Every structure is written in structure tokens, then in C-alpha cells.
Amino acid sequence: MTDKTLENQDRRKVLKDALGVGAIAAGLTTAPNLLFPALAQGERLVPFTDEVSDAFSWRPIEANTTHWQDTREINSFFTNNEDFYLVQHYGQPTIDNDAYRLRVTGMVDNELDLSLRDLQNGDVIEQQVGFECGGNSQRLLYGLIGNANWRGRTLNSILEQAGIQEGAKEVVFFAEDVATEEIRGREVEKAFARSMSIDDAMRPENMLAFEMNGEPLPHYHGKPVRLLVPGWYGVANVKWINQIHVQDTRYMGRFMGRDYVTLKRSNVGGVERWVENSVTTMNLKSAIVRVIADNAQHRIQGFVLNDGTPIESVEIKIDDGPWQRAELNPRNTKYSWKLFQYTWSNASAGEHTIVSRVTDIKGNVQPTNDELPEKVSFWEDFGQFPRRVTI
Ligand SMILES: Nc1nc2c(c(=O)[nH]1)N[C@H]1C(S)=C(S)[C@@H](COP(=O)(O)O)O[C@H]1N2
Ligand SMILES: [Mo]
């Protein structure tokens, strides 16, 4: 991308912000939405009659707040940048594009100090990636979720340029946002950071994204550059990234060792144990987000998120009926969210319970809440999510 286009895009963004227009990346509004159109004339949303917690109210984006999507309103394959959920634990730092540097340090042959331009002049890819926060919950109607088209530099091209040294084990990603945390009675300044093994870091799909849905990465989503680890929970996608450090020890930090850690009962070589794990790949999950009524017909729509393993089927169960196959949106890609729809003919008047379950080609089936491993944490909620509607 040339300076000129970047400059123009920034100007367009400023203009849009000034006008307060709900901005949508050019072109995406007109893209066909094969199975997930906005409501047409004569169609209406069927309200869910199960209890929706008070926590669920749609809020506009404000600085330094969490934002979730009203999943009942999902009507496009890509989430508008302004609707895409927001989570950040240490506020939202502002980084000037011209002053931006990404340093690569530690066990590498060549330490690097890269500008935004350096990142843009290299192995750049475009990829559809959807993800959710590891703390996403049924209470929020799974609103900590989004799907976008991203453009950025492959992470492995940067690591290869730096040259990882023999004996290195871990890659740490540090961000610009810092906070003072009290740890054992002492106040220390800590930056947001996450880490992964060298093998995980070298996966060809990992990218340092600088564009989201055709626009320069928005401030709230990590301007100018964020890490994207397709197939992983959102916490891996370090925003405002400013340093990549290679080391031969495990990185310990709040977001690896204390938060985003699931404690669950597991079988460890034949022994029942309580085990902690840092959240990594997304568990196989589907959820119904809305039901549309169109005269006598009803359509049940929802999403799937997972680690990128191809999907075998999504099935819907109505009351005590059999599992029946839903249709998968042909636009779904490996790491995008996967939208589905089920046409519910002859729905009888009255109350119904509807639920979805997804199966991948390896035979993994989304469990019911009761079948989930026993765990002491709200992280990684992926059980089936029954909903109630009145027809
Ligand atoms: N620098 C930084 N990156 C971060 C975080 C953060 O607090 N600071 N939060 C993480 C978490 S927990 C999530 S779920 C995703 C959310 O990304 P989004 O706000 O662009 O949707 O960003 C991740 N990256
Ligand atoms: Mo998160």
C-alpha cells in the first residue's frame, strides 16, 4: 500500500468519525449475503422467551469499555468494524503510525526494529478470521464475537527474517498498553502480553494485521498492528503489539498463568486430576442467534466457531424431535465464523425449545452443558445453548 492510499483512508475515516456515521467499509455493504440477509419486508424476528439477563443490552462503543454485539441482529457475513466486539484489560493506547516500531528481540540471529512500512513491504496476506473472547458467555448471548476480513504480514516471515536460534522455545508478544498491578503487596507496571511455543508461532496463518475489512486497523482494535492467531480464542490476538521476544523459558504472566486459565477435572494418564490450562484454540461451538418468521415459515440462524477443523454438520433439534441438518453458508471459510440456517416448516403455535449442535470431520461433537468437563471457571463455555421461542 502506498502512502497516498493510507493517507486517503485515514482522511475518509476522520470524515466519517466527524459525521458520526455508522461506518461500513466500502464495498462490503453491497456484497451478497447469501443466507444471512437483513430482514426483508414481511419478515420479523421471533423474540426469545427464555430469560435474557439484564447484562444484555446493546451499548454503543465508548473509549475503554467492553463492547458486545447484539447477536440477534447479525445480518452480514462480515461484522462492521464499529459492531465488532471489544475487550481490553488495560485501556486503549494511541500509537502514531509514523512513530510506530515493532522490535524483535531475544534468541534471534538478527534483532529487528521495524516500521509500519517495513511490515507492509513483505509477505502480506488477506484472511477471513472470526473469533470470540475466551470469556464469552450465554449470559451475553455470546455477544463477544465478530468476523472480519484482515490484511497483514505473515508472522513466520518476520520470525524467519530474525532467525530463531537453536534452543529457543517460546515467543512472547508484548503490547503498548500497560497497567499498574498490585502483586504480593507491591505495585508493578505490567504490559499486556501473551506467548506461545515456536511451533505454534510458526503456523503460516498467523499474521500481524494492519487492515480490518478494507480499512486501516481501527484504534480500538489495535492500531496500527495486532497479532491474529486464527482458530484461537481472542486473547491470543495481541492488539497494539510493539515487541516480539524469543526465549528458552516459558513466559509467565497474568494472561498466560492467572487469567484466561481454565481449571478442570481431567484424566491424566489414568489418574483423575484437577488441571489448569491457558486458553488456546477455540472449542467447537455452535449457537442459535435468531429465528425469523416469514408467513408460515420460520428460519433458525446461528454461528459456529472452532479451531479451523472442517465442519461435518450442524444440526437443529426442536423440542424432543430428531436432530435435523441445517444448511451451512457457502461463504464460510476455514477460519471465518461459519453461519448456518435451518428452515423450520410447519412450526406449530406455542412454546418450543430449539437447540443446535455442531460436529467436525474428526468426529468431535459439541457437548451439552451437562457433558462438559467439570470445571471451575467461566472460561471456554462451549456447551449446547437451548433457546425458547413462542410461535
Ligand atoms: N494489547 C492488548 N491486546 C489484547 C487485549 C488487551 O487487553 N490488550 N485483550 C485480548 C482479548 S482478551 C480479546 S478477547 C481480544 C479482543 O479483540 P477485539 O477487541 O479487537 O475484539 O483482544 C485481545 N488482545
Ligand atoms: Mo478476551
Examine residue 275 and state whether it is found in any structural domain, yes or no: no
Residue 195 pairs in a beta bridge with: 172
Examine residue 24 and state whether it is found in any structural domain, yes or no: no
How many domains are contained in the chain?
Answer: 2
Distance CA(133)–CA(139), nearest Å, equals: 13
Last residue of a domain, one of 264, 296, 318: 264
Q: Answer for the pair 178, 190: CB distance below 8 angstroms, yes or no.
A: yes
Last residue of a domain, one of 203, 234, 264: 264
Give pLDDT < 70 ranges for the chain.
1-37, 53-60
Element (H, E) at 272: strand 271-278
Cell numbers given for 390: 413462542
The 10 Å Cβ neighbour count of residue 20 is 7
CA neighbor of 156 nearest in space, from 166, 148, 164: 164
- Cα–Cα distances (Å) from 127 to 187, 291, 308, 331, 334, in that order, read 40, 29, 13, 13, 10
Q: Which residues contact 340 (CB under 8 A, 6 or more apart)?
A: 35, 286, 301, 302, 303, 304, 314, 326, 327, 328, 329, 356
Going from the Cα of 74 to the center of ligand 1, the distance in angstroms, rounded, reads 21
Query: pLDDT at position 64, please?
Result: 82
Query: pLDDT at position 37, please?
Result: 62
Q: Answer for the pair 290, 74: CB distance below 8 angstroms, yes or no.
A: yes
Examine residue 41 and state whether it is found in any structural domain, yes or no: no
The answer on 259 and 206 residing in a single domain is: yes
Domain with 163 in it: what CATH number?
A: 3.90.420.10
The answer on 254 and 178 residing in a single domain is: yes
Give nearest CA residue, ligand 1 atom 20.
221
The answer on 294 and 174 residing in a single domain is: no
The answer on 303 and 256 residing in a single domain is: no
Helix, strand and coil content of the chain, in percent to the nearest 5, comes to: 15, 40, 45
The answer on 141 and 179 residing in a single domain is: yes
Query: pLDDT at position 139, please?
Result: 87
pLDDT digits (tens, 9 = 90+) for 235-284: 999 999 999 999 999 999 999 999 999 999 999 999 999 999 999 999 99
| Residues contacting ligand 1 via CB (< 6 Å) | 84-90, 133, 146, 175, 177, 192, 221, 234-235, 237-240
Query: pLDDT at position 35, please?
Result: 52
**Range(s) of the domain holding residue 291:** 285-390
Element (H, E) at 351: strand 351-360
Examine residue 42 and state whether it is found in any structural domain, yes or no: no
Query: pLDDT at position 9, please?
Result: 35
Residue 292 pairs in a beta bridge with: 45, 299
Distance CA(1)–CA(216), nearest Å, equals: 11
Element (H, E) at 292: strand 285-294
The answer on 151 and 13 residing in a single domain is: yes
Element (H, E) at 299: strand 297-305
The answer on 244 and 124 residing in a single domain is: yes
Ligand approaching nearest to the C-alpha of 234: 1
Query: pLDDT at position 203, please?
Result: 98
Residue 247 pairs in a beta bridge with: 170
Last residue of a domain, one of 202, 230, 264: 264
In three-state secondary structure terms, 185 is coil
The answer on 81 and 199 residing in a single domain is: yes
Going from the Cα of 224 to the center of ligand 1, the distance in angstroms, rounded, reads 14
Query: pLDDT at position 26, please?
Result: 30
Cell numbers given for 238: 495481541
The answer on 243 and 303 residing in a single domain is: no
Place of cell 516500531: 101
Ligand 1, pocket-test mutation among 150, 235, 260, 381, most atoms within 8 A of CB? 235
Atom of ligand 1 nearest to the CA of 175: 1
The answer on 303 and 259 residing in a single domain is: no
Q: Which pTM does this prediction carry?
A: 0.90
Distance CA(163)–CA(108), nearest Å, equals: 5
Examine residue 45 and state whether it is found in any structural domain, yes or no: no
Examine residue 147 and state whether it is found in any structural domain, yes or no: yes
Examine residue 47 and state whether it is found in any structural domain, yes or no: no
Atom of ligand 1 nearest to the CA of 260: 12
Give nearest CA residue, ligand 1 atom 2.
239
Examine residue 193 and state whether it is found in any structural domain, yes or no: yes
Ligand approaching nearest to the C-alpha of 239: 1
Going from the Cα of 157 to the center of ligand 1, the distance in angstroms, rounded, reads 23
DSSP β-ladder status, 102-106 and 215-216: unpaired
Give nearest CA residue, ligand 1 atom 16.
87
Q: From start to end of 138-240, where are the E strands?
A: 145-154, 170-183, 186-197, 207-212, 215-216, 226-228
The answer on 97 and 242 residing in a single domain is: yes
Query: pLDDT at position 40, please?
Result: 77
Domain with 293 in it: what CATH number?
A: 2.60.40.650
The answer on 252 and 303 residing in a single domain is: no
Looking at the chain, the number of H-run helices and the number of E-run strands are 4, 21
